[in-house]
Amino acid sequence: MTARIISGTEIAKQIREELQREIDDLKEKYDLTPGLATVIVGDDPASQTYVSTKIKACQALGLYSANYPLPGTVSENELLNLVGQLNSDPKIHGILVQVPLPRHIDEGRVLTAISPDKDVDGFHPVSVGRMVIGQPTFLPCTPHGIQELLIHAGVPTEGAEVVIVGRSNIVGKPVANILLQKAAGANSTVTVCHSATRDIASHTRRADILIAAIGKPKFITADMVKPGATVIDVGTNEIGKTPAGKRILSGDVDFDNVREIAGAITPVPGGVGPMTIVMLMTNTVKAAKLAHGLK
């Protein structure tokens, strides 16, 4: 059996079309344009690509976008001052500080300086706490995108064995918490594997839904997958460059072999990536509405 391909590109497009209507409505009825500030420190090419994709997505939807590319030498205080300014700027409803930050900057301090009301990445400890106890909040974009992908692709999550490989604060830990909630599109039995897990394959082979967020190209091989499982590949590993200098990406899953075993699989690119972007746009619109007392 060859797996069904779950197209994040297609699902993100559907969500974007609904969001576009909402944005047009906000402009027409309330003269309100949701605004997102992006902050990037240094010149890491992967981070630059991610942030420029986010900026373009904002512009395509007619959102206000303010961008702050800062040199890698910027001090923590300068960055904290910028976040403070953005917190009190009424045109800005969402603030995104791209991580990782250079080593001389305390990432936790910077992310905690963002007002929880503008925390469209869902990285502030207040947002994380609300997520864990199932209160309304901004959910982090990649994990929320994965949940929406499963819902839109009709993959049942209730009672499903979900195995996540990777325990990052950006993907592994939050997606585990989201799918654990007693809620529609969740209610799963969740296992998180990591670098100290003994015999990872013994866990992954039990998975109805396998989420790979390790950061190692083709880590998940066909023998690690249960026949018919849904495989979500969060990896975006650069494995080379085209002659024109474009990055060649590989997921964390050995796609060509795993697709012969799995029931459904997300491609890289065109799987989780577009979902992350559209969830960021969704969170920015939500932040703007909350700031104006709209539901």
Our finding on whether 92 is near ligand GUN (CB under 6 A) is no
**148 binds ligand GUN, rule: CB under 6 A:** no
Q: Does 141 bind ligand GUN (CB under 6 A)?
A: yes
How far apart are alpha carbons 50 and 277 in whole angstroms?
Answer: 9
Task: Give the x/- contact pattern for ligand GUN in 164-183, rule: CB under 6 A.
Answer: ------x-------------
Max Cα-Cα span within the chain: 56
69 strand-pairing partners: 40
Q: C-beta of 67: minimal distance to ligand GUN in Å? A: 13
Residues 6+ apart with CB under 8 A from 76: 104, 105, 106, 109, 110
Residue 99 touches ligand GUN, criterion: CB under 6 A:
yes
Beta strand pairing status for 264-265 and 230-233?
parallel
Q: Is 98 a catalytic residue?
A: yes
Instruction: Please tell me the count of residues contacting ligand GUN according to CB under 6 A.
Output: 9
Closer residue to ligand GUN, CB minimum distance, 50 or 264: 50
Q: 85 an active-site residue?
A: no
Helix H or strand E encompassing 110:
helix 107-113
Q: Is 70 a residue that touches ligand GUN (CB under 6 A)?
A: no
Q: Does 284 bind ligand GUN (CB under 6 A)?
A: no
Cβ-contact 234, 166 below 8 angstroms: yes
Question: Any catalytic annotation for residue 20?
Answer: no
Q: Is 237 in the site for ligand GUN (CB under 6 A)?
A: no
Cβ-contact 95, 118 below 8 angstroms: yes
105 binds ligand GUN, rule: CB under 6 A? no
Q: State the nearest-atom distance from the C-beta of 186 to ligand GUN, in Å.
A: 20
Cα–Cα separations (whole angstroms), residue 276 to 26, 149, 174, 191, 241: 23, 10, 13, 22, 23
Buried b (16+ CB within 10 A) or exposed e, 224-246: bbbeebbbbbbbbbeeeeeeeee
Select the span of 93-101, 179-187, 203-211, 261-269 touching ligand GUN (CB under 6 A): 93-101
Task: Out of 11, 61, 79, 96, name the contact with ligand GUN by CB under 6 A.
Answer: 96
Q: Which positions touch ligand GUN (CB under 6 A)?
A: 96-99, 121, 141-142, 170, 276
Active site residues: 54, 98, 121
